Structure 1
Amino acid sequence: MSTAPSPHRPNQAGPTRGGRPARAGRTLRRAAAAAAALVVLAAVPAAARPHGESDRTGRCPTTAPLTVPGAEHQATACLDELTTAGTAASGHTDPADWAGLTPAGLAVPSGVPGIQIDGYFPDTSRGNTNHGWDHDAQFVIRLPDHWNGGLVIAGSPGVREQYANDRAIGDWVLSRGFAFAATDKGNTGAAFHRDGDAPGAAIAEWNDRVTELTRAARAVVAQRYHRPAARTLVTGMSNGGYLVRWQLEHHPELYDGGVDWEGTLWRAQGPHLLTFLPPALRAYPVYAAGGAGAERARREMTAAGFPTGSEFLWPFHHQYYWDLTQRIYREELDPDYDGALEAGNPFCAPGTPACDADYDYGSRPRSVRAAVSKIALTGRIGKPLITLHGTLDVLLPISRGSDVYAAMVRDAGRGHLFRYYRIEGGTHVDSLYDAFPDRLRPLVPCHRSAFTALEAWVDRGVRPPSSRTLPRPAAQDSEALLTGCRLDGR
């Protein structure tokens, strides 16, 4: 979820750390502000050449306009730059949508001219305000002039919109010649649970929207380049990683493989965020208060899955992620828990009526498990999948997420299609690396290593290194950590 929802207290700065350099405090405040930008401002495209009108180099095609199958509306532009090096200025991305998802020092590639198509598919919800459309099921498709024959599909993390992957994923794959398509998943923002006609339906729509976009983008690629994509790869972080898993389980015919970056785990029997977040909401305030109960509360946190050694990340996540994440996803899957109240009471104390800190998934009615079953994963992937997950993830703890999913894949007899890399020092919010460079490791270079390994696997049959935990390099500078991540652990 990264990536996860915005805080419900967006005007408060992030917590500071006693004794830490001032830069860490500033970075945490920037991360807090980025989290607050989940429900983003509209990005209205600046002037751009319409499709079919050549620029002065004669680069853009003058053939019949490209058509996105099934789209209710589309707007096509010929751009000198498809990466955020150009789109942030031209209005063909929304920087607020990807704010806080990558380290500040991550390089921005450039020199990728091509065509961008923005639009939306038919939908009844109106949470996405990009372009002033006030319409969900928005998408973006980018078609570089210098195409390598591939297509990359991504769903947004958390409940962000279609541009959320632009910095972490889109810039890099476009610079390597891939066409790139992304979706807002059909509903956005911290009130996403209002969409759908039954518990679980809003999340289930996410899967349908990725399938819809994949089919449409494949058709558009064939129109633009006059041949189908040689390979279609799906990737994403957090909720986007969940979508990768689900697509490879249910629609392997559409893809050649996928990379899952800390995907969310859903299964009816648990574990999932409704089983490990309530214990954190109960125990963390006691731990933070210190005193006689603090050590017991810390043990309760680690028993819930939050790894020993991650304590320095707990204050930020308690203030900005755990509470809101629990409440809005619980509202989506179990709205009856708090009756007529919508998404509970923020930061309620245990014992307060219908408090999410007291939520007990195991004691809830069978209907709640039925709602989770609508979105549950099975592990029965049908195409190669690489999963990576940070060992210091304290939003979706690794022991309650990807460790479990890896076992599910093996139990389903699909281990030959799977590689799993546990990244020591990685956490869920990659921008926190800027605040704690001595303790954390950014995951974006590990995602890129996994992606190139997937390419070699599906293109040439070169199997990636075996699944393993990748140790955090002991003596590497920031630039090295931002640009390299060997999957063989060397």
Structure 2
Amino acid sequence: MRSFRFPPRSRRLRGPAALALAALTLTAAAPAAPAAPAAPAAATPPPDGRCTRPAPVRVPGAAHQQAACLAELTTAGTVASGHTDPADWAGLTPKNLPVPSGVPGLQIDGYFADTSTTNTNHGWNHDAQFVMRLPDRWNGGLVVAGTPGNREQYANDRAIADWVLSRGYAYAATDKGNTGLAFHRDGKAPGDAIAEWNHRLTQLTRAARATVARHYHRAPSRTLVTGMSNGGYLVRWQLENHPELYDGGVDWEGTLWRSDGPTLLDFLPAALRHHPVHAAGGEGAGAARAALHAAGFPEESEFLWPYHHQVYWDLTQRIYREELDPAFDGPTEAGTPFCTTGTPACDADYDYATRPAAVREAVAKIGLTGRIGKPLITLHGTLDVLLPISRDSDVYARMVRHEGRGHLHRYYRIEGGTHTDSLTDAFPDRLRPLTPCHRTAFTALESWLTAGHRPPPSHTVTLPAGRTPASLVDRCSLGR
């Protein structure tokens, strides 16, 4: 069983560009990513259990794979052994989030056939990479996930994988088939790169279900899908288009795509136009603030605007607009960073409503309908200023009800939550992390599916009285 090493850190982005690679946007986030292990330690077999003599388990459809028997499948061990990449999940969780441990088992890394090469993990220079983790003490279930933003397959390790593995689930994740700042170069037509994300999660789910059945000699009793941001979008899409593969899902602030809007191509240009005026002060500041509120950015979120303007809004608008509407700026790729309104082909002046029909067709290719076919729990922070809640999950909840699927959906608006949990470390008195709420939602889904206990009705989860940062990182009640 071979260990592997990640490419030298010098090959990855640093500085402001690296900070911009966050949950929706890309591959790392503040604080700065820790260095990858210089050389992974040899995998140590656990003292007993299924993985001491692992039979060769082939992942169906994998073009390449390698397996390692590990004494620890969570990040409590995989950081040291080299079987995760801390840079991939940097910035997604609070710094004091507890890390479970004591989960021995088998890890399989590999990739499916693909023509793009943005993912450099393990020196493979090959996309459609995946990771599967099969714990010795299995509870019979499988959790699959797509990554947030354009991160690689280890992005959910600290936020999701550690916890579900500690509960006995097998776990699988995919890089979605393209990664990084230039993900939009993948595919032949606008929208193709994002459409591939959906295909890759479907592919992973089918392969993981078969792999689990081969490894444990019985099929998984339940398959759950979950993810945050772009990963949450994938949850929605899978339960709309392939409900036969899943028993249910948890959508953590999923990105909303629909041809008639709203999408980030509607509200981010408004942020780029009005925030500089608001930040400059003076007589136009009040009107600019009101315009930002009208665009969906919630009141009392102003303290988050400068950081998001610097790190998220501009880059996110340009690269996703390039993916769906590359003709807007002609031969220029992904626009002009931080251009001022009035500059030719400036994304601050982008107007989705006036763009050609082909742009709506590209969005329709990846669009959501609300026609979920299995139980879904959605959670979203009320202070999200990357995907404002009123322009995203509020809308999606209405779509689900409009399609007559409201009985399959629970929607929890988390007061004080924002898009990236690491920001709670910078603003502990103003923000709460969503990771504990995701865990509570996940257990509520389990109870819904196995015992028939319906979760509390959809509502806004208010901040508890007497809260402290320590208490908020440990627990989250979804009850009224």
Instruction: Indicate yes or no: 2:467 matched with 1:476.
Output: yes
Residue 432 of structure 1 is matched in structure 2 by 423
Paired position in structure 2 for 1:103: 94
| Higher mean displacement: 155-164 or 476-485 | 476-485
Structure 1 58/145 Cα, relative in aligned 2: closer, same or farther at 3 Å? closer
State how far apart, in whole Å, the 2-side matches of 1:207 and 1:470 are.
Answer: 30
Shift in CA distance, 43/415, structure 1 to aligned 2, threshold 3 Å:
farther
Q: Distance in 2 between matches of 1:438 and 1:432?
A: 11
Cα displacement (A) at 1:476: 1.2
Aligned mates of 1:370, 1:32 — CA distance in 2: 28
Deviation at 1:56, TM superposition (A): 5.0
**What amino acid is the match of 1:145?**
D
Matched residue, 1:405: 396
Q: Which amino acid aligns with 1:392?
A: L
Tell me by how many angstroms 1:161 deviates. 0.4
Counterpart position of 1:28 = none
2:213–2:219 Cα contact (<8 Å) kept: yes
**Within 2, Cα distance between the matches of 1:216 and 1:336?**
37
Which position in structure 2 is the counterpart of 1:86? 77
Please state if 1:138 is matched with 2:143: no
Checking the alignment, whether the CA contact within 8 Å between 2:40 and 2:80 is kept in structure 1 is: no
Structure 1 match to 2:188: 197
Query: Hey, what's the Cα distance between the residues in 2 that align with 1:404 and 1:352?
Result: 32
Name the CA distance, whole Å, in 1 between partners of 2:126 and 2:38. 13
The answer to whether the Cα contact below 8 Å between 2:267 and 2:295 also exists between their aligned partners in 1 is yes
Within the candidate set 29, 34, 58, 1:34 is matched to: 29
In the TM superposition, residue 10 of structure 1 has moved relative to its aligned partner by 2.4
Structure 1, unmatched stretches of 5+, are: 1-6, 15-30
TM-score by length of 1: 0.91
Q: What is residue 316 of structure 2 aligned with on the other side? A: 325
Q: CA deviation at 1:47?
A: 2.4
Identity of aligned residues (%): 74
8 Å Cα contact 1:287/1:294 also seen in 2: yes
Q: Work out whether residues 429 and 469 of structure 2, in 8 Å CA contact, stay in contact via their aligned partners in 1.
A: no
The Cα of 1:62 is off from its aligned counterpart by 3.1
Partner of residue 48 from structure 1, selected from 39, 43, 47: 43
Q: Give the deviation of 1:473 after TM superposition.
A: 1.6
Change in CA separation of 1:56 and 1:402 when aligned onto 2, cut-off 3 Å: closer
Letter in 1 for 2:383: L
Residue 64 of structure 1: CA displacement?
3.4
Instruction: Name 2:6's counterpart in structure 1.
Output: none
Partner of 1:249: 240
Matched, 1:66 2:57: yes
* CA deviations over 1:106-133 (Å, ceiling 9, x no partner): 0011000000000000000000011110
Matched residue, 2:256: 265
Match of 1:217 in 2: 208
Aligned residue pairs total: 463
Which of 144, 156, 166 is 2:147 aligned to? 156
User: What is the CA distance between 1:205 and its match in structure 2?
Assistant: 0.2
The answer to whether residue 383 in structure 2 is matched with residue 392 in structure 1 is yes
1:10 to 6, 15, 31: 15
SS in 2 for 1:187: coil
Normalized against structure 2, the TM-score is what? Answer: 0.93
User: 1:276, CA displacement in angstroms?
Assistant: 0.3
Counterpart of 1:26? none
Q: Counterpart of 2:284 in structure 1: which amino acid?
A: G
Taking a change above 3 Å as real, the CA distance of residues 356 and 67 of structure 1, as seen in their structure-2 partners, is same
Deviation at 1:32, TM superposition (A): 12
Gap change, CA 1:10 and 1:447, over 3 Å in 2: same
CA distance in 1, matches of 2:253, 2:394: 10
Which amino acid in structure 2 is aligned with residue 162 of structure 1? Q
Provide Cα deviations, 1:136-163, integer angstroms capped at 9, x if missing partner.
0000000000000000000000010000
Secondary structure (helix, strand or coil) at the match of 1:60 reads helix
- Deviations along 1:270-292, one digit per CA (max 9) or x if unpaired, are 00000000000000000000000
Q: How far is the alpha carbon of 1:480 from its aligned partner?
A: 1.1
Whether the 8 Å contact between 2:370 and 2:396 is mirrored in structure 1 is: yes
Structure 1 contact 241–260 (Cα < 8 Å) conserved: yes
Whole-Å separation in 1 of the counterparts to 2:406 and 2:153: 32
Answer whether contact 1:235 1:261 (CA < 8 A) is retained: yes
Q: 5+ residue gaps in structure 2?
A: 1-11, 20-25
Inter-partner Cα distance in structure 2 for 1:347 and 1:162: 30
| 1:127 aligns to 2:133 (yes or no) | no
Corresponding residue of 2:9: none
CA distance 1:8–1:129, shift in 2 (3 Å): closer
Instruction: For 1:330-369, list aligned pairs within 5 A.
Output: 330-369=321-360
Helix, strand or coil at the partner of 1:34: coil
The answer (yes or no) to whether the contact 1:42–1:132 under 8 Å persists in 2 is no
Structure 1 residues 255 and 185, CA gap change in structure 2 (3 angstroms): same
Q: Distance in 2 between matches of 1:350 and 1:327?
A: 14
CA distance in structure 1 between the aligned counterparts of 2:419 and 2:478, rounded to whole angstroms: 19
AA in 2 matched with 1:257:
G
Give the match's secondary structure for 1:416: helix
Q: How many Å separate the matches in 2 of 1:8 and 1:302?
A: 33
CA distance in 1, matches of 2:458, 2:322: 36
The residue type paired with residue 166 of structure 2 is: S
1:74-124 residue CA offsets vs partner (Å, 9 max, x unmatched)? 010000000000001101000000000000010011000000000000000
- After the TM superposition, which residues 173-184 of structure 1 pair with which residues of structure 2 at under 5 Å, given as runs? 173-184=164-175
C-alpha separation in 2, matches of 1:13 and 1:156: 17
CA distance in 1, matches of 2:135, 2:355: 50
Task: Note closer, same or farther for the CA distance 1:414–1:12 as it changes in structure 2 (3 Å cut).
Answer: closer
2:38, 2:463 → 1: CA distance? 38
Question: Does the CA-based 8 Å contact 1:102-1:430 persist in structure 2?
Answer: yes
Q: 1:392 to 1:56 in 2, by over 3 A?
A: closer
Partner SS state of residue 341, structure 1: coil
The equivalent of 1:206 in structure 2 is 197
SS of the residue 1:388 aligns to: strand
Q: Secondary structure at the match of 1:232?
A: strand
Q: State the partner residue of 1:185.
A: 176
1:310 to 291, 301, 313: 301
